[in-house]
Amino acid sequence: MATGFLTDTTVCIGCKACEVACKQWNQLPADGYNLTGASYDNTGHLSGTTWRHVAFIENPKKQRRLSGDVDLIALAEDVTETLPGNAELDGLGRWNFMSDVCKHCVEAPCQQACPTGAIIRNEFDNVYIQPDVCNGCGYCVPACPYGVITQVPNDGRAFKCTLCYDRQRDGLEPACAKACPTNSIMFGDVEDLKVIAAERVATLHAKGYDNAFVYGTPEVGGTGGIGGNHSKFILMDDPETYNLPRHPFMPQVKVKGAFVASSIAAAALTAVVALAFRD
């Protein structure tokens, strides 16, 4: 059975309970209390010591309620009928919250880049880094199209979300999903989560939120040979708004172009040298 996450951003309230639970269970160090200055957020991004990150994304675009854009609080509380139809909110915008995590790609670029076999797929089909095998080469860091993996300072090894492998082995759900007060983070069988995601998006569309979609499918956020993700997200805006690539890809898809360019350059240089010797 393949397990994964479904994160519904429409009901995320930005409480960061998942961040705290992840750090507490996995005994990860704190990130400090210095705000970035660009957001109400002192974490900033995923890293080797932050495996869950709740992004605070301020969307300054002019909003028109009930015409595709959405007030997430009203949506979560199911009180959209009380909002004025087509009311413009000039200059106010809205906040987007998203609890980001490793995507656990179906075809993981990090695993393919690892030279030691430290990155494997465990019995739950999750992408797992074996800390006792990792040699700190860092090849997985640039291979990840989502910027999830980083090396830990003063250690050198790479770390990321394990999908609480130890808890799963004991029949428990991951700490972040357990701590989420709004059920924004759902854990379970990947196939079951696909059904839940499709039903939720259909419900949102029925309420008039036509911009809702699932990110992490082979069609959306899983092209370029990745084949989709076991960590999926229900989004209400463009992927780039959430710092997600629209079309993530395997690094090797860029190799062909570089090989052709190098071959042309080598052929041209060979021709110049040959002409020089002939003269």
Domain extent listing, the chain: 3-248, 252-279
How far is 251 from 235, CA to CA, in rounded Å? 25
Question: Of 80-84, 118-122, 126-130, which gets the smallest average pLDDT?
Answer: 80-84
Binding residues for [4Fe-4S] cluster: 12, 15, 18, 22, 102, 105, 110, 114, 134, 137, 140, 144, 161, 164, 176, 180
6: nearest Cα among 96, 98, 97: 98
Tokens encoding 120 = 């494997």
Phi, psi of 64 (to 5 degrees): -125, 110
Q: How large a percentage of the chain has pLDDT more than 70?
A: 81
The structure's pTM equals 0.80
**183 in Cβ contact with 223 (< 8 Å):** no
Q: How much is the pLDDT for 43? A: 81
What sign results for the dihedral spanned by CA atoms 25, 31, 36, 40?
Answer: positive
Q: Map tokens 């854990």 to a residue.
A: 187
The predicted pLDDT at position 71 comes to 55
| Rounded Cα distance, 177 and 192, in Å | 16
CATH architecture of 3-248: 2-Layer Sandwich (3.30)
pLDDT of residue 45: 87
C-alpha–C-alpha distance, residues 221 and 197, integer Å: 15
Give the pLDDT score at 31: 81
In this prediction, residues 242-259 reach a mean pLDDT of: 76
- 18 close to 180: Cβ distance less than 8 angstroms: yes
Q: What is the pLDDT of residue 263?
A: 78
Mean pLDDT of 64-85: 49
What are 157-185's pLDDT values in tens digits? 999 999 999 999 999 999 999 999 999 99
Annotated binding site: 12, 15, 18, 22, 102, 105, 110, 114, 134, 137, 140, 144, 161, 164, 176, 180
- Report the pLDDT value the prediction gives residue 88, as an integer from 0 to 100: 43
What value does the mean pLDDT take over residues 100-112? 94
> Is the C-alpha dihedral spanning 177, 163, 192, 148 positive or negative?
positive
The pLDDT, as a whole number, for residue 35 is 75
- The C-alpha torsion from 109 through 114 and 117 to 122, rounded to 10°, is -30
Can you tell me the distance from the alpha carbon of 70 to that of 63, in angstroms, rounded to the nearest whole number?
8
| Measured distance CA(174)–CA(4) in Å, rounded | 10
